[in-house]
């Protein structure tokens, strides 16, 4: 049962080697054993075991995830299952409805194993802003798991679930996936419904899978993607069968290597690991050329202003009248973001900040358009380096924005991107980001799949006995 992907678990179910019940029990035991230290789950679903007991069929076409235990970032509402956004303000909040993503997973037969830790309200890139303490990195417990979907990435990495779901505004799926050595996919904005996801940056939020393999990411994405009548920003472009697409032949990829994403202050070993990936792509027949993009550092300001503005608006519903707890329960980071966003939207400052940010956002969109005229994909490092130590965010109000510098530009352009493991620095994993134009999910997944097959990074697993 060790480190099962969805694909392998399905096979074992079909072959009747193990049951869903066995698998759920296995994870619950592991959670019991390791998660006190790791802190990847905020809530374990008490009904998971009972639910798995009632499953007597193997997964099939209609229920491709039947019996598969999945962990969900605690920003997705789950009916009758506590949902906190990692904020004490919602400490005892039990939703009356489920997010579309949760519903789609459950309709596909998945068992929600539990709700995973995150930066409170997704505000951060470390899980250190969680009111329930940070999630540690399974590879080295003195290091961060990343964020905001740190709990999901750590749970997948530590084999405390088969796969997980996270959300990303800029780097929140890919970042922790990179730091925990797993696959993280951030789809095109509007590809996956945001309905029932506690909103952070509404024009950026994108739910996505965090998995042990590109195949699993492809399978999960297909299930959660697509038009949702409850989310007006979802696209009605049809959803591909990404898993089948992986096996299909396609013409050689033209890949742009964004050279200016190798920042000056980046660790040389991390740089080298990324440069090495270009060699892999060349070997598998891709055409790789260096390009210079619009400086990603400009994206920090744009992203910060847009996201903070939206945060200040989105959190105003927690006005102390409902949900049981008042605004004193907002943590420092949430308060800071509300203040900054309120300022950038104030009359007299809107033009200077919010509107200007939207203009620069357009510049980024156009810059990517320009690149994709000649290339299918862009590759960059996911993060500037491996996971920093616990406590790194202390007194660093802009830690997240700096850590996510490489994700912000593609995110504000609404682009899809995957992070796949591409090496280690000091025993900590690092990730490669593959970015494509909007709705190019299948091309990205194909490239990631080819890379993954050609390398053996995914065979490395953390040793939890050393936690």
Partner 1 sequence: MKVIKKLNPTIGMETHVELRTKSKMFCGCPADHFGKPPNTQTCPVCLGLPGALPVPNKKAVEWTIILGLALNCKINKVSKFDRKHYFYPDLPKGYQISQYDEPLCSEGYLDTKEGRIRITRVHLEEDTGKLQHRKVDGKNVTLIDFNRSGVALVEIVTEPDIKTGTQAKEYTQKLQNIIRYLEISDCDMEKGSMRLEANISWGLDLGYKVEVKNLNSFRFVDKAINYELERQKRLIIKGITPKQETRGWNETENKTYSQRIKEVASDYRYFPEPDIPPMKFSTPYIKSLKSYIPLLPDDYLKIFVNNYKIRKDYAEILSVRKNVAKFSEIIFEKGKKINLSPQLIANYLINQKIIPDEEKISDLLTKISRINNKNTDDINLLNEWADAAINKLPDAVKDYKKGRKNAVFALVGLVMNISKGKANPRKVKEIIEAKIDKV
**Strand, helix or coil at 379?**
strand
Neighbouring-strand partners of residue 228: 231
Q: Smallest distance from the beta carbon of 77 to partner 1, in angstroms?
A: 5
The pair of three-digit structure tokens given for residue 437, joined into one six-digit string = 């134009």
Whole-number Å distance between alpha carbons of 415 and 410? 5
DSSP assignment string, 19-68: -HHHHHHHHHHHHHHHHHHH--EEEE-TTHHHHHHT--S---SS-TTTT-
* Near partner 1 by CB under 8 A: residue from 196, 331, 416, 421: 196
- 346 is an active site residue: no
- 203 is an active site residue: no
Binding status of residue 95 toward partner 1 by CB under 8 A:
yes
CA 278 to chain centre: 24
Longest Cα separation, the chain: 66
* Near partner 1 by CB under 8 A: residue from 18, 266, 345, 363: 345
Cβ-based nearer residue to partner 1, 291 or 345:
345
Question: Is 155 within 8 Å of 71 (Cβ atoms)?
Answer: yes
| Annotated active-site residue in 73, 186, 446, 458 | 73
Name the segment binding partner 1 (CB under 8 A); options: 40-48, 177-185, 296-304, 310-318: 310-318
CA distances from 100 to 169, 240, 292, 437 (A): 18, 19, 38, 25
Q: Smallest distance from the beta carbon of 197 to partner 1, in angstroms?
A: 5
Binding status of residue 199 toward partner 1 by CB under 8 A:
yes
Site for partner 1 in 63-92 (CB under 8 A): 76-77, 83, 85, 90
Binding status of residue 356 toward partner 1 by CB under 8 A:
no
Q: Smallest distance from the beta carbon of 186 to partner 1, in angstroms?
A: 17
The single residue listed with the structure tokens 């999910």 is: 441
The pair of three-digit structure tokens given for residue 230, joined into one six-digit string = 């409850």
- 73 is an active site residue: yes
Question: Is 120 within 8 Å of 114 (Cβ atoms)?
Answer: no
Name the segment binding partner 1 (CB under 8 A); options: 153-161, 293-301, 318-326, 382-390: 318-326
Cβ-based nearer residue to partner 1, 43 or 83:
83
* Near partner 1 by CB under 8 A: residue from 16, 36, 321, 459: 321
Whole-number Å distance between alpha carbons of 17 and 23? 11
Binding status of residue 330 toward partner 1 by CB under 8 A:
no
Name the segment binding partner 1 (CB under 8 A); options: 179-187, 213-221, 346-354, 415-423: 346-354
Binding status of residue 203 toward partner 1 by CB under 8 A:
yes
* Near partner 1 by CB under 8 A: residue from 9, 48, 86, 99: 99
Whole-number Å distance between alpha carbons of 392 and 343? 27
Q: At what angle do helices 297-314 and 405-412 cross, to 10 degrees?
A: 70
Name the segment binding partner 1 (CB under 8 A); options: 139-147, 149-157, 224-232, 439-447: 224-232
The single residue listed with the structure tokens 């399974």 is: 138
Binding-site size, partner 1 (CB under 8 A): 39
Sheet hosting strand 163-168, strand order edge to edge: 41-44, 111-116, 69-73, 163-168, 206-211, 183-186, 417-425, 428-435, 377-381, 254-258, 287-291
Let me know the angle formed at the C-alpha of 332 by 413 and 34, rounded to the nearest 5 degrees: 85
Q: Smallest distance from the beta carbon of 76 to partner 1, in angstroms?
A: 8
Site for partner 1 in 21-60 (CB under 8 A): none
Binding status of residue 364 toward partner 1 by CB under 8 A:
no
Binding status of residue 202 toward partner 1 by CB under 8 A:
yes
Exposure string over 242-272, b if 16+ CB within 10 A, otherwise e: bbebbeeeeeebebbbbeebbbeebbeebbe
Binding status of residue 316 toward partner 1 by CB under 8 A:
yes
Cβ-based nearer residue to partner 1, 121 or 242:
121
Binding status of residue 230 toward partner 1 by CB under 8 A:
yes
Q: Smallest distance from the beta carbon of 371 to partner 1, in angstroms?
A: 25
The DSSP code for 271 is H
Question: Is 19 within 8 Å of 67 (Cβ atoms)?
Answer: yes
Q: Smallest distance from the beta carbon of 306 to partner 1, in angstroms?
A: 9
Binding status of residue 229 toward partner 1 by CB under 8 A:
yes
* Among the listed residues 181, 41, 175, the one whose alpha carbon sits nearest the alpha carbon of residue 116: 41
Tell me phi and psi for residue 378, to 5 degrees: -120, 140
Binding status of residue 310 toward partner 1 by CB under 8 A:
yes
Cβ-based nearer residue to partner 1, 199 or 273:
199
Cβ-based nearer residue to partner 1, 98 or 157:
98
Positions annotated as catalytic residues are: 73, 148, 172
Binding residues for partner 1 (CB under 8 A) = 76-77, 83, 85, 90, 93, 95-97, 99, 194-199, 202-203, 229-233, 309-310, 312-313, 315-317, 319, 321-322, 342, 345-347, 350, 354
């Amino acid at each position: 049962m060790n480190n099962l992907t969805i694909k392998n678990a399905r096979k074992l179910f079909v072959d009747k080697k193990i049951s869903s019940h066995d698998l759920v029990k296995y994870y619950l035991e592991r959670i019991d054993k390791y998660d006190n230290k790791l802190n990847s789950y905020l809530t374990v679903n008490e009904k998971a075991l009972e639910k798995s007991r009632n499953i007597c069929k193997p997964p099939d076409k209609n229920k491709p995830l039947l019996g598969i235990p999945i962990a969900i970032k605690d920003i997705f509402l789950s009916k009758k299952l506590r949902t906190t956004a990692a904020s004490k303000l919602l400490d005892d909040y039990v939703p009356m409805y489920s997010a579309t993503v949760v519903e789609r997973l459950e309709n596909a037969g998945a068992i929600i194993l539990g709700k995973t830790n995150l930066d409170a309200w997704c505000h951060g890139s470390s899980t250190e802003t969680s009111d329930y303490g940070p999630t540690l990195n399974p590879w080295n417990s003195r290091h961060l798991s990343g964020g905001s979907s740190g709990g999901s990435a750590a749970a997948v990495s530590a084999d405390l679930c088969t796969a997980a779901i996270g959300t990303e505004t800029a780097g929140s799926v890919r970042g922790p996936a990179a730091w925990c050595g797993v696959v993280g996919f951030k789809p095109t904005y509007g590809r996956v419904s945001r309905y029932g996801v506690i909103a952070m940056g509404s024009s950026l939020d994108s739910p996505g899978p965090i998995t042990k393999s590109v195949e699993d990411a492809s399978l999960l994405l297909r299930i959660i993607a697509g038009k949702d009548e409850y989310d007006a920003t979802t696209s009605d472009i049809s959803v591909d069968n990404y898993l089948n697409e992986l096996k299909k032949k396609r013409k050689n990829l033209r890949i742009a290597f964004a050279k200016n994403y190798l920042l000056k202050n980046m660790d040389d070993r991390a740089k080298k690991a990324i440069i090495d990936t270009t060699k892999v792509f060349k070997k598998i027949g891709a055409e790789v050329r260096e390009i210079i993009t619009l400086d990603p550092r400009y994206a920090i300001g744009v992203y910060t202003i847009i996201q903070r503005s939206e945060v200040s608006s989105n959190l105003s519903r927690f006005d102390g009248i409902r949900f049981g707890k008042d605004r004193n329960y907002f943590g420092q980071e949430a308060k800071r973001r509300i203040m900054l966003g309120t300022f950038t939207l104030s009359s007299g400052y809107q033009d200077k900040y919010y509107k200007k940010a939207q203009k620069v956002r357009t510049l980024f969109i156009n810059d990517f358009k320009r690149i994709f005229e000649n290339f299918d994909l862009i590759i960059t490092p996911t993060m500037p380096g491996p996971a920093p130590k616990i406590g790194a965010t202390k007194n660093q109000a802009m830690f997240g924005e700096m850590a996510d510098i490489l994700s912000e530009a593609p995110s504000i352009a609404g682009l899809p991107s995957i992070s796949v493991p591409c090496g280690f620095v000091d025993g900590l994993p690092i990730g490669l980001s593959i970015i494509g134009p909007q709705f190019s999910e299948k091309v990205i997944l194909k490239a990631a799949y080819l890379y993954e097959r050609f390398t053996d990074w995914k065979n490395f697993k953390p040793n939890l006995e050393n936690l």
